[in-house]
Structure 1
Amino acid sequence: MSKAERQRSARERLAEQRRREEQRHRRLRALLVGAGAVAVIAVVVAAVVLVQTRGGDEGPVATAPVSRQADGSVVMAKPGVTAPVLEIYEDFQCPACQEFEEATGRTVKELAAEGKVKVVYRPFSLFRSSNEPTRGNSLRALNASLCAPADKWLAYHDKLFAEQGPETAKGFENADLVKWAAEVGITGDAFAQCVEGTRKQQQIDQVNATADRAGVQSTPWVTLDGRKLDQNATFTADGLREAVENADKT
C-alpha cells in the first residue's frame, strides 16, 4: 500500500470513528431529553393530583347564620358573637376580590362558624365612575346580590365571584344573573323582576355612600375592628386566622 493510500485509509477510519461517536452522542442526548421529559411530566401529574386531592378533601364548609341588614350589608356570625368584627368591602367585578375569595373566603367562613369573628359583608360598586362595560357589570351584579334572600345570599355571593368575567367585556347580564341564582336555589318571579328592573337602586346608593364614608379606596378593603388588614392577612389563610385570633391583643 502506497503512502497516499495509507493516508487516505487513515482519514477514512478517522471519519468513520467520528461518525460513530456523533451517533452515540445523538442517542445519548435523545435519552437524556426523553428522561427529562418523563421526569417533568411525572412532577406535573403529581402536582395536579395533589391539588385535586387537597381540593377534594376540603369539601363543603359549615357556615354561621347569615342575616341581611337594613343598610344593605350581610352579617355572618354565630348567636352572641359580636367581636371582633371583620368587614369586607368588595365589588363583584373586582379581580382582586375574586382572588381574595379564592385565597381566604373559606377561612372567613370557618372563623365565623367557629365563633371567632363576626363577619360583615359590604358589597358595593367601586366602578360606578368607570367606563362601560365595567360600570354596568359592577352595578348589575350588586343589584342582583341585594335582591338575593339572606338564606341563599352566601351561596349566590360565591357564585357571582366564580362567574366573574373580564372588566373589558360585558358580563353579569340579567339573564345570566337569574340563571346563576337558580343554580344556588333562588327561584321565582320576584327575584327575576328585582334583577331585571334594577329594583335595589336605593340600596345601591346607600351601600356606595357607606363605602365612601369609610374611606374605601380600593377593593378588597378588609378591616378588623376598623383597622385595615395588610396584604398577608387579606390574601393568606394563615395570616387572616392569625389576625383574627390575636385581635384582642392589639
Structure 2
Amino acid sequence: MGHLQRDERERLTALAGGVRLATVKAEHQADEIAAALHDEMPWMGPATEQVWRAMRRSVREGSIGLRLPPILLDGPPGIGKSFWARRLGRLLTVPTTVIEATNENASFGVVGSQRGWGSAGPGRLISTILMEHVANPVVVVDEVEKSGTAKSMSGRAFGLSEALLPLLEPMTARSWSCPFYQVKFDMSWVIWVLTSNNYHALPEPLLSRCPPIALRALTTDELVMFIWREGRRQGTSDVALDAAVEAFKRAGQASQPSLRTAARVLQRAADLECHPTLH
C-alpha cells in the first residue's frame, strides 16, 4: 500500500483485525425478522418473502454470515421502498446507507473515483465499511434508473450501472478493486437494495443480476395502520394520533396514498401533542 498517503494507510490498517459479519443464527430468527417486516409493511410482501427465503437458506447452508442476493424493488413512488430497506437493516442490526442516484455524480458517490478525476475520493460503499467495521451493511441505491453518467476531464464516460455490475456478481465482488484506494476488497457480503419506479429504463446486464420485484401501491387503510404503528413507536399519544388521522380522513385523498403523506400526518400529530387545541 505504498502508493497511499499515511492517513489512508492507517484507515485501511484498521481492518487488519477483521470486521463484523452479521448473521441470522436460526430459521426461527429469520421467521421473526420477516414477520416484523410484513406486519409493518404488508404491501411490500414480495420483497419480504424473497429476503425471508434467502435468510432461511443462509441458515440451512451453515454460512459464516448472512448473504442476501441483490434486490431490485420496483413499484410506484412513495410506497416506502427505501424505508423498508432501512427497517431491514435495523432488524439485522447492520448499518444502512442510502444513496440517492439522482443526486450523486453517477458512480462516484457509490464506488468512488480514481485520483486524476476532479472529485477523486472513496465512495460511500467502502467508507461505510471502514467506518462501521461491518462486512454486510445494507446499501440502498434509490431511483437507480434516474442516475446520470459522469465524464472525466478527458471525456471518458462512467455510469452507475456499469460500476454496480461487478459488485452485484458474487464472483467478481469477492475481489473488487476500489478505484480510489487501488486495493482489492471482498464485497460479496454487502446487502444491496436498489429501488426504481420503472425498471424498463435499466440495462439488461443489471436486470440479469438483479431481477425486479414488482410491488403494488399501498391502500389508505394500510397507510392509516402504518401511521398508528409509527406514531406509537415515536411515543405520540393515541389522542393526538386519532385527531391527526381523523383530519386526514376528512380532508380526503386527492392522490395515491404514500409514506410521504404518513410523515405529514405524524408531524401533525406531534404538533397537536405539543400545542393542544385551544377551546
TM above 0.5 = no
Query: Which structure: larger Rg?
Result: 1
TM-score, normalised to structure 2, is 0.23
Say which structure is richer in helix.
1
**TM (normalized to structure 1)?**
0.25
